Structure 1
Amino acid sequence: MNESNRVYLYDTTLRDGAQTSGVDFTVADKAAIARELDTLGIDYVEGGWPGANPTDDAFFADAPNLSRARFTAFGMTRRPGRSAANDPGLNALLDSGAPAVCIVGKSWDFHVDMALGITQAENLSLIRDSIAAIVARGREALFDAEHFFDGYKANPDFTLACAKAAYEAGARWVVLCDTNGGTLPHEVEAIVTAVAKSIPGSHLGIHCHNDTENAVANSLAAVRAGARMVQGTLNGLGERCGNANLVSLLPTLVLKLGYETGVGPDGLKRLVHASRLLDERLNRAPNRHAPYVGEAAFAHKGGLHVSAVARDPSSYEHLDPALVGNRRHVLVSDQAGRSNILSRLMEVGITLSPDDPRIGQLVDTVKRREFEGYAYDGAEAGFELLARRALGEVPDYFHLTSFRVLDERRWNARGELVTMSEATTKLEVAGESLMTVAEGNGPVNALDQALRKALIPAYPALEGMRLVDYKVRILTPQDGTKAVTRVMIESADATGHRWTTVGVSANVIDASFNALSDSITYCLFRAGARIDSRTAAA
């Protein structure tokens, strides 16, 4: 390995990422994410701040056994007025058992004066003493120079003195932090180039925040200037606008710039999995448009694009999606041509001759339905059902005779406002006529419950199906409350597989039923459900 070309990756998802609004990791979440980062080949996994909260204390008390990554504890320098040996915070880091310790310290004279109220000389002592104490305990020491770039622009001599104090005291890495996220790439490159004259690039790291949407660009600029360690988070989690996104940085460093990391080809192929594992832990939908790993990252919609990609993917793709664990995805819309339809059919396992007359019919159907308001570029399961129904492949699992939904809003005996929905459905299921009634916390939920009550006895596969997202869009706002609406429902099964279906109607409940009915049908078709008897298992 060419060490001068080696870039080390430091993940701070479990600490800096936990500062994201709405993110609250459990101990189990932290352990699962740490193990996935280790499997990827990340060099450092920062577990959190021992002593800061019960979750981090519990996590460090039973730290995961990592085979590749170096488990790292995060904290701060000793406090003014205390020696390193008598500082409780610093001792909590040293007692954590983590083989590496990263401490943050001030490097902007404004913060030293305003926040700490100490002399610049004393701030340098805080840094030196803390790093020396870590090294003396046989731990790898890292120093995060907080507000480094703002400090350097205000007083470069003092800020550089802070970095040198850490390096000379034995820090393996001196990490230059763009804490406020306001520095631009050309500034980062110039400043890191200047710092590298005093501290070798093999000991310099970069930590960027994304407040100007430049965290990834700033990190790359620092590497180009000589820094050989990058700190970031999965999916760019982090306070305010987030941190540098390691999911974007990693393939860019390796596949675009030719740097070496601890992540090999197999690790790169796990990027999509790692990104979505984090989203699943946070119970949020993955970003479809995320670079490299999003569903839309290698999606093609225009017919000319699809035709060209079929001949040579490099014509409209910057790399092979399989390298990062993703796949090519052909969208179907009113812009679609025969190439789109054929490619999309092949993706779902349907092979037809290009001159099959049903292809032209399907193109016309898609364009007509999109004119009516359907959108298949975001409802792939809806398109697959449309195509398979046209080919006669989808069984008639159930048939709706009618449904009715009642909404009630009233005050109860305790003076509380209560809203309730009740749905009644009449279905033909496996040769039987069934009427079911169910209540829900809204009309769609009530319909879902009523349908499940009728269908689950015949189709147990529906037990694991759940609705994960529901979107309504007004298509004809000029019509006011009579407007046509489009409903898109995203569902998931017990395996975590997700799919989206679409319904359109001037009645939002009718549109919701259409999308929900297709979602149930897709789940049954994918599970290979049989309809020959009431006891048929999926």
Structure 2
Amino acid sequence: MSGDGPTLGDASAAGGRSVGHGHSHAHGGGAGHRHAPTPGQQAHAGRRAALEADGTPADSAHADLPPLPEAVDVFDTTLRDGSQQEGLSLTVDDKLRVAEQLDHLGVAFIEGGWPGANPKDAEFFARAPKELSLSTATLVAFGSTRRAAVAAEKDETLRHLLEAGTEAVCLVAKSSEMHVTHALRTTLDEAVAMVADSVAYLRAHDRRVFLDAEHFFDGYRANADFSLRILQAAAEAGAETLVLCDTNGGSLPAEVSSVVGDVLDRFETQVGVHFHNDSGCAVANSLAAVQVGATHVQGCVNGYGERAGNTDLSATIPDLSLKLRVRTIPDGRLERLTPVSHHIAELVNIAPDPQQPYVGSSVFAHKAGLHTSAIARRSDAYEHVDPELVGNGTRFVVSEMAGRSTLALKAAELGLDLDSQAATEVLDTLKQLEYEGYHFEVADGSLELLLRQATGWRQHYFELESYRVISDQGGDRQSTEATVKVFVGNERMVETAEGNGPVNALDAALRAALVPHFPGLAHVHLVDYRVRVLDSARGTGSVTRVLIDSTDGDRTWTTIGVSENIIAASWQALVDSIVYGLVHTGPEGTGAATTPEHDKEPA
């Protein structure tokens, strides 16, 4: 396809001439101070030096590359690209807290948003210098190149980027001929000039510049000469990193390896990648790019982003660190991955995916009897890495399919001594309860209490006398009142409370009765309540299963109740939740588990 200016020759060839020379990839070629090269930039320079030391020209075919780069710079764009996910909306306070977590993890760069695009991002960049104290990360502002036919010094987007006050900026530029002619509606030469002028202008104002070459892989496929001209313009103007973006998310690893390898052969400037997951290959594509020499990877924690999301850094970081032995974050930080992933999920108000690689609650959980037996003898039998390396842990899931060995392992995991006879008895009980509709593999709290009871333990924190629920509705007014009568020791407690429904009212009344005796319960809160009808064919007489999620701020647990009466099922789950909380937080809320001797049945 034709362009409006000189071409770079046959871009499809494996080799090519090196462009962008004369400007260190570490600092670009514009005015301003030099900054220390990042680990990824040092690795990029080391790759080229290794090629030349081996007698191989740095711009030769990439079939015989030296070993993998020693390090990759991790660039997180959760606050910008990730926030474009449907249903994800962050306040400025949320963005600041997410940034703190990303820095705690140890990423190299945090893209904070697009200053000038909306008041929220403008406020974020205004507050960030005063409220964030970043230890490892550099904050980056995002924006586009100058508009067509507008001088850089008069362009509002570039002005907003400077006003953001960040050390580094990320410029997005069209690198696909189709997008230039149809979206920008300008010429290819003007698109190249827009990149060159914008990068040079920002470099003259002492900013580090990353270029996001939008739609690069699609553009390269259609007109590689033009796409490479965009990179050349940025490199020669002083951009420190050329980021190849798979904006539509349709590329596959083999193509990525070929294209990234060709770009690396042609440019001295550091090369990075930014993938979307529309074909399910974002992580694989990122790994493929690093394997041919890319030393900068962009993505989002938990893979957030529009459509199918961005590269999931929660998987990419451990893949690079543990599988390819490429340094991504500072030593000692990888074990923070799971807690940070879950904390950010809480901040963005999206439930964590239990099957998310490395950080999901189910990815090191074992249910099948053969698996659990093997895991007990050798942990790597069914675990590809030690889960503790990423801050996760092995779990044994117990259901009616479990054998005695699985139950014994689960009990040991909880610090309980379950002998063979007790294991057999609790297994029979478990199978009967699951036949009735209980589902203990999703109710870890109730399961633990069941196993404790199998060792002779009984809860004597309180004893129920009765409960009653009354609902009134008249006109627009609706109220629910619950009365709970319990014994705590020899003291009879009677409390009544109102709520927005039966469960809320029962919870309030039970707490009112117990908190004076057990202050630790003040820290235990119900966070989710779910009901499932198990045999809907019976209509209003159906058996219902209730699951309640509770937390004390440090841990979260699930309890279960099953009954034809939804209030009775809810009461079962609620009582288990309270008892579990007392066991693990202690009556005073000290966090000490309480299994006193007097709570055991006589031998």
TM-score by length of 1: 0.92
When residues 431 and 286 of structure 1 are mapped into structure 2, their CA distance, relative to the original with a 3 A threshold, is farther
Look up the equivalent residue of 1:450 and give its one-letter code. A
Aligned residues: 521
- Aligned equivalents of 1:319 and 1:68: distance in 2? 26
Look up the equivalent residue of 1:377 and give its one-letter code. E
Give how far 1:477 is off. 3.0
The match for 1:237 is 304
- Aligned equivalents of 1:271 and 1:404: distance in 2? 46
- Aligned equivalents of 1:330 and 1:261: distance in 2? 31
- Aligned equivalents of 2:244 and 2:215: distance in 1? 8
- 1:286-342 CA-to-partner distances (Å, cap 9, x unmatched) read 322221111111111111111111111111110111111111111111111122111
Look up the equivalent residue of 2:253 and give its one-letter code. P
466, 470, 476: which is aligned to 1:402?
466
The match for 1:534 is none
Look up the equivalent residue of 1:385 and give its one-letter code. L
8 A contact 2:272–2:296 mirrored in 1: yes
8 A contact 2:140–2:168 mirrored in 1: yes
The match for 1:431 is 490
356, 364, 369: which is aligned to 1:290?
356
Give how far 1:248 is off. 0.5
387, 392, 410: which is aligned to 2:451?
387
Answering whether residue 220 of structure 2 is matched by residue 152 of structure 1, we say yes
Answering whether residue 184 of structure 2 is matched by residue 125 of structure 1, we say no
139, 163, 186: which is aligned to 1:95?
163
Aligned counterparts, 1:14-413, within 5 A: 14-62=79-127, 63=129, 64-200=132-268, 203-264=270-331, 266-353=332-419, 355=420, 357-412=421-476
552, 568, 584: which is aligned to 1:526?
584
Give how far 1:242 is off. 1.5
Gaps of 5+ in 2: 1-41, 48-68, 590-603
- 1:97-142 CA-to-partner distances (Å, cap 9, x unmatched) read 2111101111122221222211111111111111111222222110
The match for 2:15 is none
**SS of the residue 2:359 aligns to:** coil
Look up the equivalent residue of 2:568 and give its one-letter code. D
**Sequence identity (%):** 48
Look up the equivalent residue of 2:141 and give its one-letter code. A
**SS of the residue 2:148 aligns to:** coil
Give how far 1:409 is off. 4.2
8 A contact 2:480–2:501 mirrored in 1: yes
- Aligned equivalents of 1:251 and 1:155: distance in 2? 35
Give how far 1:453 is off. 2.2
The match for 1:9 is 74
Give how far 1:507 is off. 1.8
443, 458, 464: which is aligned to 2:523?
464
Aligned counterparts, 1:471-486, within 5 A: 471-486=530-545
510, 513, 516: which is aligned to 2:568?
510
8 A contact 2:418–2:454 mirrored in 1: no
Give how far 1:352 is off. 3.9
- 1:50-100 CA-to-partner distances (Å, cap 9, x unmatched) read 222333223222322322222211111111232111112102212322111
Give how far 1:530 is off. 7.6
Mean CA deviation greater in 274-283 or 484-493? 274-283
Gaps of 5+ in 1: 413-417, 532-538
8 A contact 1:9–1:229 mirrored in 2: yes
Look up the equivalent residue of 2:543 and give its one-letter code. V
- Aligned equivalents of 2:167 and 2:588: distance in 1? 56
- Aligned equivalents of 1:528 and 1:466: distance in 2? 15
**SS of the residue 1:155 aligns to:** helix
Look up the equivalent residue of 2:501 and give its one-letter code. G
**SS of the residue 2:266 aligns to:** coil
How large is the Cα RMSD of the aligned pairs?
Answer: 2.0
